[in-house]
């Protein structure tokens, strides 16, 4: 997508990152409080978000006293939200009613490996004033194409999302050389788009796929997708939790511990196509060099 570079990146003082921390998650209950390499999963996410100078404020949107107590113990900014809210974006909106900003970032509480490259890509699309919602994609590993826990996205030439699905899209009928794109569940919203989302009822496609972003597409609200070369591990299953724990214990470079916010796990170059290494051994992983 072409960007109008006469418009600057959002002012960090007007950017709020919200981490919806739902205790009763469906696929992996209480995952935000599960221990990962010596501390709760949520702690890794908050510590990462606090490193990004593109963000002026980081807020945990809690739905339980347990999560709120963890935040209080660590001195993290926390807002209580109703446990009845159906989605993370609804929690984001609830926080936006209390905290004024121009841009709100939905940082998933199960994405401990986010890095500054992700945040910069997400916010960089807002240099185009017509963009109201942004998210990210990365080349999908071969072993994840058919995995329903890994959401795929297809986009138009200008970067607008055409569809998100748990299925393998596009369907490769004739076996042509095809790239599949994994959706990374980070979103940024201008305030007006977030307010519009809150007025919309869940759509049919959203309910079928169980993907809240489809509510926007079903109501003709564009989502613009930035490409990143840096994959993450979203924690949706017990296996994911174990993979993250192992990575955070071992790091990905000999003798160098993982530091929250550096955001390195697997690195995909466009010329490489998809990474077919099913085990993603630590020795082949590349760091996010950042600046």
For the chain, the domains span 12-114+233-258, 129-183+199-231
Burial of residue 136 (CB within 10 Å: 0-12, 13-18, 19+) is buried
| Cis peptide, bond prior to residue 170, ω within 30 of zero | yes
Q: Rounded to the nearest 5 degrees, what angle is found at the Cα of 266, between the Cα atoms of 243 and 226?
A: 120
pTM of the model: 0.85
What's the pLDDT at 127? Answer: 94
* Angstrom distance (rounded) from CA 233 to CA 99: 29
pLDDT tens across the length of the chain (291 residues): 444 445 789 999 999 999 999 887 777 889 999 999 999 999 999 999 999 999 999 999 999 999 999 999 999 999 999 998 888 899 999 999 999 999 999 999 999 989 889 999 999 999 999 999 999 999 998 989 999 989 999 999 999 999 999 999 999 999 998 999 999 999 999 999 999 999 999 999 999 999 999 999 999 999 999 999 888 888 988 999 998 898 888 765 444 455 666 555 554 443 333 333 333 333 233 334 343
Residue 72: partners with Cβ closer than 8 Å, 6 or more residues away: 78
* Fold exhibited by the domain 12-114+233-258: Spore Coat Polysaccharide Biosynthesis Protein SpsA; Chain A (3.90.550)
Residue 10: partners with Cβ closer than 8 Å, 6 or more residues away: 54, 102, 103, 123, 126
* Angstrom distance (rounded) from CA 126 to CA 241: 33
Q: Is the dihedral of CA 136, 13, 90, 24 positive or negative?
A: positive
CA distances from 211 to 44, 70, 89, 120 (A): 24, 28, 11, 24
* Angstrom distance (rounded) from CA 206 to CA 242: 29
What's the pLDDT at 35? Answer: 94
């Amino acid at each position: 997508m072409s960007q109008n570079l006469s418009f600057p990146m959002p002012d960090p003082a007007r950017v709020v990152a919200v981490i919806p921390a739902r205790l009763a998650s469906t696929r992996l209950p209480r995952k935000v409080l599960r221990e990962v390499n010596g501390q709760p999963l949520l702690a890794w996410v908050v510590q990462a978000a606090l490193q990004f100078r593109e963000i002026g404020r980081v807020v945990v949107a809690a739905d339980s006293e347990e999560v709120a107590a963890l935040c209080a113990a660590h001195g993290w900014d926390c807002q209580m939200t109703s446990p009845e809210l159906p989605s993370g974006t609804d929690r984001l909106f609830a926080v936006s009613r209390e905290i004024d900003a121009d841009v709100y970032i939905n940082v998933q509480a199960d994405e401990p490996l986010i890095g500054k490259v992700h945040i910069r890509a997400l916010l960089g699309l807002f240099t185009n004033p017509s963009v109201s919602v942004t998210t990210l994609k990365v080349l999908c590993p071969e072993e994840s194409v058919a995995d329903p826990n890994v959401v795929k996205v297809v986009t138009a030439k200008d970067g607008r999302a055409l569809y998100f699905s748990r299925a393998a899209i596009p369907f490769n009928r004739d076996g042509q050389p095809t790239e599949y794109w994994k959706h990374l569940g980070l979103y940024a919203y201008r305030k007006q788009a977030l307010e519009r989302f809150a007025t919309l009822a869940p759509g049919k496609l959203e309910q079928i796929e169980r993907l809240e972003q489809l509510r926007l597409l079903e109501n003709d609200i564009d989502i613009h997708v930035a490409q990143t070369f840096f994959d993450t591990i979203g924690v949706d299953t017990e296996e994911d939790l174990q993979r993250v724990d192992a990575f955070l214990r071992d790091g990905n470079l000999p003798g160098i511990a993982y530091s929250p916010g550096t955001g390195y796990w697997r690195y995909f170059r466009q010329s490489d196509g998809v990474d077919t290494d099913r085990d993603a051994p630590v020795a082949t992983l590349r760091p996010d060099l950042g600046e």
